[in-house]
Amino acid sequence: MGVGLCAARACVPHPRPTTSIESSVTVETSTANSATTELETTTSGLTSQETLSVTESQTSVESAATTTDGISSFTTSLATTTAVTSQETETSTTADEATSTTIEATTTTAGPPVITNLVENGGFEDSTIDPWVVEGASPEVFSSPFFCAEGSKCLQLPGNLDNSARVCQRVAVEAGFEYTFKAQVSQNCIKEYGSNTLTCDDNINTAELSIDGVFDSGADGIVGYNTYKDFTYTFSYVDPSIDSTDLCITITQNQGLSPVFYLDGVSFTRGKAVPIPDPTE
C-alpha cells in the first residue's frame, strides 16, 4: 500500500519553494487522470511562476471489506501504476528596480545692480543746505513745487557771482564700480534791460561737475531762461578707493545782470561692478 501511495502522491516531484515578501496568491487545480498543480506568487516588483504537470496513465483501486465483531471496517487500497510524464516550467521575472534621484539645483541669476546714491540732501528737501558747503555765493533754499526740478525745494544761488560759485559735499568713492553724477541747473539771466530786454545767451554761463581726484566733466553750457538742463555723466572708477573727497558743482557766470541760478536733483550713484586692471600686467 505504501508503494502505491508513493506512486500516486509522494513520488511526484515537488514544486520548488518560492519566497514572497508582501503577498501571495495560490491556485490549485486537480483532475482525475491528470493532476496539475499551479503555484503563483506575486511580489511587488517580483513574479515567480512554477507549473508542474503530472499525467497518470492508469489508476486501479482495490477494495476489501471485512467484518469483525459486528463492526464494519472498510479498507481501501489504492494501487497506482503510473507512467509519469513530468513537465516543469519555471519562469522567474524580476522587475528592474529603478531608483530615481532628483537633485534640485538652485540657479542664481544675477539681478540688476543695486543703485546707491552717495549724495545726501541732493534735492534740498531738508529745508537746509547741510551737508552742502557753498563758496562764492549766499545760498538759499527756494520752495516752489512748480519751479523746482524735483520735489518742492531747490537751491537758489543769487547772481553777480565772484566769477563762480561752488556747491560741495564730501563723499566716498570705492574702486571697481560704475558711477553716475547728475545735477539739474537753471538760470534766470538777463543780459540787457530796456525796451528790448534780452536774455542771456545759451552756453555762455556754465556748470561743471567734479569729484576731486576722481572725475571732472569740464565746463558745459547752461541754456534757456528758467529752464532746467540735465547734466549727467557716467564713468568707471578703478583707481584706489577714496574714503572722503569733495564732490562739487561749480557755476561760472560769464554773462548776465544779477542773474539767479538754481540747482536741484543732485545725485552720485554707484552702479554695476567693473573689473579692476591687474597692475602687474
Cβ pair 142, 154 in contact under 8 A: yes
Domains recognised in the chain with CATH numbers: 2-93 (no CATH), 116-273 (2.60.120.260)
Q: Is residue 252 pLDDT above 80, yes or no? A: yes
Mean pLDDT rounded to a whole number for the chain: 75
Question: Would you place residue 280 in the very low, low, confident or very high pLDDT band (cuts 50, 70, 90)?
Answer: confident
- φ, ψ of residue 9 in degrees (nearest 5): -125, -65
| Average pLDDT estimate for 180-205 | 95
Q: Is residue 268 pLDDT above 90, yes or no? A: yes
Closest to 52 measured CA to CA, from 19, 11, 20:
11
| Average pLDDT estimate for 132-156 | 96
Q: Give the separation between CA 177 and CA 116, rounded to whole angstroms.
A: 11
Specify the higher pLDDT residue, 74 or 133: 133
What type of residue is 46? L
Q: Give the separation between CA 260 and CA 132, rounded to whole angstroms.
A: 19
Q: Give 113-135 pLDDT, tens digit per residue.
A: 677 899 999 999 998 999 999 99
Quick one: residue 27, left, alpha or beta (phi over 0 = left, psi -120 to 50 = alpha)? beta
Distances (CA, A) of 201 to 68, 186, 217, 225: 151, 13, 21, 9
Distances (CA, A) of 44 to 18, 96, 263: 14, 11, 81
DSSP annotation of 255 reads: S
Q: Give 5-31 pLDDT, tens digit per residue.
A: 444 444 445 554 444 444 444 444 444
* pLDDT, position 279: 81
| Average pLDDT estimate for 227-238 | 98
* pLDDT, position 92: 45
Grid coordinates in use for 38?
A: 499551479
Question: Would you place residue 110 in the very low, low, confident or very high pLDDT band (cuts 50, 70, 90)?
Answer: low
Question: Would you place residue 162 in the very low, low, confident or very high pLDDT band (cuts 50, 70, 90)?
Answer: confident
Cβ pair 223, 199 in contact under 8 A: no
> Radius of gyration over alpha carbons of the chain, in Å?
53
Q: Is residue 89 pLDDT above 50, yes or no? A: no
Q: Is residue 278 pLDDT above 80, yes or no? A: yes
- Calculate the CA 18 to chain-centre distance: 53
Q: Give the separation between CA 233 and CA 235, rounded to whole angstroms.
A: 7
Distances (CA, A) of 57 to 13, 51, 60, 81, 223: 17, 20, 10, 7, 123
